[in-house]
Amino acid sequence: MDERRPGAGRALVFFVALIVLISVVALNVPRFARRVAAARPAVPAQPTLPAAEVWVSTADHRLTLAPQPDLALAARDGSDADITIDTKSTYQSMTGFGASMTDASAWLIQNKLTPEQRHALMTELYGSSPNLNLNMMRLTIGASDFSLNLYTMDDMPFGETDPQLRHFNVAPTEDYLIPAVQHALAINPNLLIVASSWTAPAWMKANENLNGGELLPQYENAYADYLVKYVDTYRSRGIPIFALTLQNEPLYSPISYPGMIMNPDTRARVIKYLGPQLAKRTPRTGILEWDHNWAVPEQPLAVLADPAAARYVDGVAWHCYDGSPFEQGRVHRAHPDKDTYITECTGGDWPLYVNGELLWFTRNLLVTGIRQWARGVIYWNLALDERHGPHFGGCSACKGIITIDSQTGAVTRNDEYYAIAHFSRFVMPGALRVKSTDTDADKGLANVAFVDPMDGSVILVLVNINKTGKRVSVAEGQYQFDYAMPAESVATIVWNPSRAAAWIRRALHWLNAGSSRESP
């Protein structure tokens, strides 16, 4: 699938900084040179070892992405380590992290914040690290359960049809959704957007209703045209669509909000209509199959078993509500040429999560999901209010990664915000997952590691689910270190074997922080 490469700007800054560093060293070396007729015996210099930076969050909220003292790296002595990282053994490259700009999220951002609050929040969410650095987004095509009213892009009076899509329009999204997405793109032009349809227009469906029902066979071609028209229209508004899913949760027929059953045979037929049309567009919008729970891997496998459809499928999209992320691995092993994405998962104010959701989301969704081949992870609602809305049926206790107070505009950053931040602020697009010892089952320490090919930095995310602190030893390349993880905590640890590259990375971090503070 075509992807814009946000690393180009970073590469330019990185190499400019490197040239400056080399020039400074070269200019200052002669200043310190001394001609000594009879030199004293030289004392062997002790090698200066790199250090690792650490950020920690705890389930009790005592620490929230809090920077910790640097860890001193030691020369590797050959002793066994709990976690051994092999940066030569690489797996998938990472695309990014994000959340869904639902109608509810966009409406809150556009209507409950002042212009100053809005710009500050959007910069925090979509600005470069040390902001949250979100670079993926999901949009709903038409209304979802988190909309203010029911609609599609081609609604007709009852009993009328529009197979030529002459009445197609995006008017229901003009007031708040499109402006919010355009604002995000202005901050991060490399944002990758996945769009998912919740239902076909009612006139295309057997029950002639937006809620539930199935797509009529005679409108499968028109439904493919409907999705293409959405891509073209949004592109004309400056909103490129990175990938489509044909149908959100195609095995579920909701009664209180838009939805539609779509079995594998139907999805395969629609893909055969849709794929050739998208292939004509540059850049090409990809197709992600499935877009439902881990528990039913047979569904995407059935579509991928059809070669005529599979040729147009770029990857498989997964939801977290039932089953295990290990099913992602099963499908990946059967079709290693297809990408893996997690496109929806939500937390909420449920009794199960009375002690918070930081550990579950970091360990089960992010660490395990990525170890099972996910290239990107997109949370459900970006923002909801203190009453878990606005919403139109469906989930009444869901949370966004942030909560916006509908009276004051005050923003609360939820556990999901910090879970994502432990990845999105440090794991840049193009970073490679690398081999690391799996310590989840035997030590209660989940982990996943990456190397950034841009500067050689190594990024390790650790999750300690134990109620007591745990000391963990880590070995990578020529170096090793020990770290005492707090009880029930998440840590992101970053180091670079090259001290020069490490300082350049820190300098870029400081520069980005300064530019974010100075932005209007």
The CATH number of the domain holding residue 145 is 3.20.20.80
Which of 6-20, 372-386, 442-456 has the lowest average pLDDT? 6-20
Instruction: Check if the beta carbon of residue 95 is closer than 8 Å to that of residue 160.
Output: no
Max CA separation in the chain (angstroms): 102
pTM score, two decimals?
0.90
Query: 203 pLDDT exceeds 70?
Result: yes
Asked if 180 and 311 sit in the same domain, the reply is yes
Asked if 188 and 304 sit in the same domain, the reply is yes
pLDDT of residue 11: 52
Asked if 108 and 187 sit in the same domain, the reply is yes
Q: Which residues contact 26 (CB under 8 A, 6 or more apart)?
A: none
Query: Distance of alpha carbon 38 from its chain centroid, rounded?
Result: 62
Helix pair angle (177-187, 103-111), 10° resolution: 80
pLDDT grade, residue 19 (50/70/90)?
very low
pLDDT of residue 517: 46
Asked if 316 and 247 sit in the same domain, the reply is yes
Query: 37 pLDDT exceeds 60?
Result: no
pLDDT of residue 352: 67
Confirm whether 195 is domain-assigned. yes
Other C-beta atoms lying within 10 Å of the C-beta of residue 34: 5
Confirm whether 333 is domain-assigned. yes
Tokens standing for residue 493: 């640890």
Q: What is the pLDDT of residues 442-480, one digit of tens each?
A: 999 999 999 999 999 999 999 999 999 999 999 999 999
pLDDT of residue 158: 95
Of the three residues 429, 450, 475, the one that is the final residue of a domain is 429
Tokens standing for residue 180: 């919010």
Asked if 297 and 389 sit in the same domain, the reply is yes
Of the three residues 377, 396, 429, the one that is the final residue of a domain is 429
Asked if 464 and 487 sit in the same domain, the reply is yes
| DSSP code string of 147-189 | SSS---SS---TT---TT-TT---GGGTTTHHHHHHHHHHH-T
Instruction: Check if the beta carbon of residue 344 is closer than 8 Å to that of residue 319.
Output: yes
CA–CA gap between residue 56 and residue 65 (Å, rounded): 5
* Backbone torsions φ then ψ of 214, nearest 5 degrees: -135, 160
Tokens standing for residue 474: 């880590």
Query: 293 pLDDT exceeds 70?
Result: yes
Strand partners, 139: 195
Q: Count structural domains, the chain.
A: 2
Query: Distance of alpha carbon 400 from its chain centroid, rounded?
Result: 14
CA–CA gap between residue 405 and residue 409 (Å, rounded): 5
Asked if 141 and 107 sit in the same domain, the reply is yes
pLDDT of residue 503: 61
Instruction: Check if the beta carbon of residue 131 is closer than 8 Å to that of residue 97.
Output: no
Average pLDDT, stretch 353-375?
93
Confirm whether 455 is domain-assigned. yes
Instruction: Check if the beta carbon of residue 52 is closer than 8 Å to that of residue 405.
Output: no
Range of the domain at 302: 96-429
Percent of the chain surpassing pLDDT 90? 83
Asked if 382 and 244 sit in the same domain, the reply is yes
Q: Which residues contact 90 (CB under 8 A, 6 or more apart)?
A: 432, 433, 434, 435, 451
Of the three residues 403, 429, 455, the one that is the final residue of a domain is 429
Using alpha carbons, list the distances in angstroms from residue 133 to 120, 259, 314, 433: 13, 31, 25, 19
Strand partners, 479: 75, 476
Asked if 407 and 444 sit in the same domain, the reply is no
Asked if 213 and 272 sit in the same domain, the reply is yes
Asked if 335 and 269 sit in the same domain, the reply is yes
| Average pLDDT value for the chain | 90
Look at 41 and 344; give whichever has higher pLDDT: 344
Query: 135 pLDDT exceeds 80?
Result: yes
- Assign 418 to helix, strand or coil: helix
Tokens standing for residue 96: 């990014």
Other C-beta atoms lying within 10 Å of the C-beta of residue 514: 10
* Backbone torsions φ then ψ of 375, nearest 5 degrees: -90, -25
The CATH number of the domain holding residue 67 is 2.60.40.1180
Confirm whether 46 is domain-assigned. no
Instruction: Check if the beta carbon of residue 54 is closer than 8 Å to that of residue 63.
Output: no
Confirm whether 320 is domain-assigned. yes
Average pLDDT, stretch 316-338?
98
Confirm whether 4 is domain-assigned. no
Confirm whether 326 is domain-assigned. yes
pLDDT grade, residue 500 (50/70/90)?
low
Rg of the chain over all Cα atoms, to the nearest angstrom: 25
Asked if 211 and 342 sit in the same domain, the reply is yes
Residue with tokens 């199959």: 289
Confirm whether 16 is domain-assigned. no
Average pLDDT, stretch 351-370?
89
